[in-house]
A and B are shown apart, each in its own frame.
Chain A
Amino acid sequence: MKRKTLFLSFIFIALAFIPRVVVNASSYNYDFFQNTIYSSEGLAYKDTFYLSDFLVNTTYQEEIKTNPYTLKGARDSFTAALADIFVDDVTQKIYILDSATNDATTSTVKVDCADGQTTAKLTNNSTVYIINSEYKMEFSFDILKITEDVQETLAEYYGVSMDPTQFSLAQIQSADSIEKATRRCPFFAASFDDGQTYEPAVVCYGADGIYVIGNYLYIADKFNSRILRVDISDQKNPIVDEVFLTPNDIIFFQIGDVGKYGEDGKLIDQSSRTTYLPSKIAVDGDGRVYTIASSTFEGIIEYNPSGEFNRFLGKNLVTKRSWWTFLLTNEQYETLSSNNPNQFTNLIIDDRNLIYATAKPDADSTVAQQMIKLINTSGSDVLKRNGYVTPDGDVKYQQFVKPAVTGSSIFVAIDANDSRIYSALDQTRGRIFTYDDEGNLLYVSAESGTLANTLKTPVALKYLTLVENNETHEYVLVLDQGSKSLLVYETTEFGKLVNKATSLYLNNKIDEAKVVWEDVVKMNSNYELGYIGIGKSILRDANVEPDKETQLKKYKQAMEMFELGHDKEYYSDAYKQYRNIMIKDNFSIIMTGFVLTIAFVVTLKVFKAKQKKDLAKIQKEASEDHE
């Protein structure tokens, strides 16, 4: 007996300590209680394209054909550093920006100097690849012609005369290499027809961002501290027709000894050096350019269409330091990291001219939050965060324990589509988080690793919608800097249904959305958003239902759906109607019961009092009799 009790109590105690199952699948979601639960795949891996797959007509491809063994390790031998990707929805062309390209696309550059000429092979300058929707390269360019206006602007800004032959040969040769010298030149003479003629041109150095709108391609030429607008209406002959230089603001300059060239072609001492490093750009329909600059904390920089600096937008806020820092001495205080606002990492502009921006998590904040922002024209954050979890990537993650990947998600790229669905790319764990307009997490996809279908160091993400054989395919392109490849993810059947239902609901087609949500729930019965979608439709139906009994039934159904989706606001809406009807219908019964109960209680009390009185009377009489 005793042993049995012991055994049972042991089991009860053991039950309390059963470890919770941790989901480690690539596809998961968070439920109302912020538990990690299994979910269906929203995006499925489709294909990987390495840079060598695009380079159709280069010597590298021929080399592979003649000697296949060179393939071994060849992919890593590329000096490429893929930086950004852009998809033009109209022409369905993919633009890939490579910060530093391989040896296969070296260009010959003539540097004209005051005391002679020198010809240089230019390597490691940034290249733009234009790829069609079949993932074959159409064109690429690295050296860009400039118009006379641009040449004038640059010459004025850098203080050199119109004639590029102002540099002395010694000046260039004193630099580490000729390539470096050309980069320091604001522009130089380059030949596009094998040395026949020379034209003023520029190259990009460490370019980090690219954006295409209409016939214009914008490149953030990071280490040259400028943004170039390239006219690509004639694809074979791209020409820079506008340049956006360092904004005329004191914070972008640092007093130093390098930067400008004097009239005599020598560097001016004690000039102000620009520290402006534009990395990601976005352009709205009116031609205003928005850019994020490295180590600039004031927010997003806005230029007006004519290239002048307008203002800063959407500054991130600083988290307050812990109160105990006042205990520190000055020396100790200086060892703390500077308390700057967190930097933006990427941005895009949607069709409403609103900016979706991603920012790094604040180091001083205990919870990683507000990493995705939707910035309106007045610079305030208008993103809705109504989901079970806020749109900040992973909610549960290891913070200290190695060898697990520690720390919160860090978003490096974002893209949004017409139905206000947006996907953000997390570099920490190589995941793509897709959210809807309300901030609900729709699905999580992709994973990190070194395999062909996993992400090593993802840097950019873009949506691509293609119509093939009357079928719409929704792709997500991810550029991986680590494996130097372009990964293509296709939206699965499940993902398509979710997207469709979200977009239908956004367009107020709630009844059509219900049908789609029902399919979603059939595929994944844990998908709580689906139940809310169905519930909303039923609730709307019930409000206009003429038949009372059916109406009641529908309210009840809606309540069940909202209970499954843990949506207490909508549950209350449905329940309020249900309760009103129930009270109205049963008012007579409830009221009768109430009145009867009161009557019964009162009668009972009166009766009991009378009984007591009678008893007392009888007792009194009896005692009198006795006497």
Chain B
Amino acid sequence: MSKVYGFFYKLGAFIEKAAKKVASTAKVLWKKFVENFIKMPLRIMSHPIVGYTEFKEDKKGKLSVAIGMVLIYALLTIIRYNADGIVINAKDPTKFNSIQLLIYTVVPLIILSVANWSITTLMNGKGNMKQIITMGGYSYFPLIVFGIINVILSNFVTVDEAQIITLLSVLSFVLMGYMIFMGLVVIHEYGVAKAILTIILTILATAVILFIALLIFDLSSQIYGFLYSLYKEIVSRFF
């Protein structure tokens, strides 16, 4: 009997220990999550100069957090495709493509970051590639917050009240723009005029990148076509 009791006692102790460990780990993780994913972006939004200085100098901006932000936003976009209320949702459920939505979220960030980096390195910008990408990732924060509010709200509004949702989403994009602009100013240590100039040049660089990408795509398909016709010619002539 005592053996049985002993076993249960040991089991109980183990479970207690494990639960405590899980709880403490979860607490640490939650604390980290709140610290990195909520408090830091909020601090950047409320005090952009101080926030971004901490972000850069104290290494408080983390690439992993930025990637997490982008992935959360991608997930939110995918969920919103079907979960939005029918009052604002005019998307065709048969054309749902999660890969496409993921690409549409991630690719603009990468291209814009590369374009910005290639411009700012030439214009004495102090920020490096990692910092730019991290800053871009953090700027998805308002989109995520207002996106979550919108997806819930859209299921409880009528057509007349749907204006609120439009207002909120516009607000979220304005905040995102604000975060990016202040981020560029602080990270690259620019004045306002120079920051605006680099933004315009970044857009131009993006256009150039897209043009080259299309060119490469087109040329490679032409080369493929040429090689294929060559192969056909050889096959039908000698074999």
Contacts and interface: CB of A to CB of B under 8 A. Distances in A.
Contacts of A572: 87, 158-160
Interface stretch (B94-102, B116-124, B206-214, B230-238): B94-102
B158 A35 contact: no
Interface of B, helix, strand, loop or mixed by DSSP: loop
Nearest to A562: B86
A572 B161 CA distance: 10
Interface stretch (A89-97, A505-513, A525-533, A563-571): A563-571
Interface string B146-175: 000000000010111000000000000000
Contacts of A568: 86-87, 159
A13 B97 CA distance: 10
B94 A35 contact: yes
A618 to B, nearest CB: 24
A563 B158 contact: no
Contacts of B86: 563, 566, 568, 571
B92 interface: yes
A451 interface: no
Size category of the B interface is 10 to 19
Given A35-B92, A571-B87, A572-B87, A12 B99 contact: yes
B156 A569 contact: no
A131 B72 CA distance: 72
A16 B158 contact: no
A13 B102 CA distance: 13
Nearest to A12: B99
A33 B81 CA distance: 14
A33 B92 contact: yes
B82 to A, nearest CB: 13
Nearest to A571: B86
A465 B133 CA distance: 71
Majority-rule SS of A interface residues: helix
Contacts of B158: 572-573, 575-576, 579
Interface string A569-588: 10111011001000000000
A225 B86 CA distance: 57
A439 B28 CA distance: 61
Nearest to A13: B99
Contacts of B159: 568-569, 572
Interface in A25-58: 32-33, 35
**In the complex, which range does the number of interface residues on chain A fall in?**
10 to 19
Contact of A16 (B87, B90, B97): B97
B32 to A, nearest CB: 22
Interface in B66-95: 86-87, 90, 92, 94-95
Contacts of A575: 158
A33 B89 CA distance: 11
Contacts of B87: 568, 571-572
A16 B92 contact: no
Contacts of B100: 16
A557 B156 CA distance: 17
Interface in A397-431: none
Contacts of A35: 92, 94
A558 to B, nearest CB: 13
Nearest to B87: A568
B114 to A, nearest CB: 24
A16 B160 contact: no
Contact of A579 (B92, B95, B99, B156): B156
A575 B88 CA distance: 14
| 7 A-B pairs with the lowest CB-CB distances in the bound complex, closest first | A572-B158, A33-B92, A572-B159, A576-B158, A16-B99, A568-B87, A563-B86
Given A12-B99, A13-B99, 6 more contacts: A32-B90, A35-B92, A568-B159, A572-B87, A572-B159, A579-B156
22 contacts: A12-B99, A13-B99, A16-B97, A16-B99, A32-B90, A33-B94, A33-B95, A35-B94, A563-B86, A566-B86, A568-B86, A568-B87, A569-B159, A572-B87, A572-B158, A572-B159, A572-B160, A573-B158, A575-B158, A576-B158, A579-B156, A579-B158
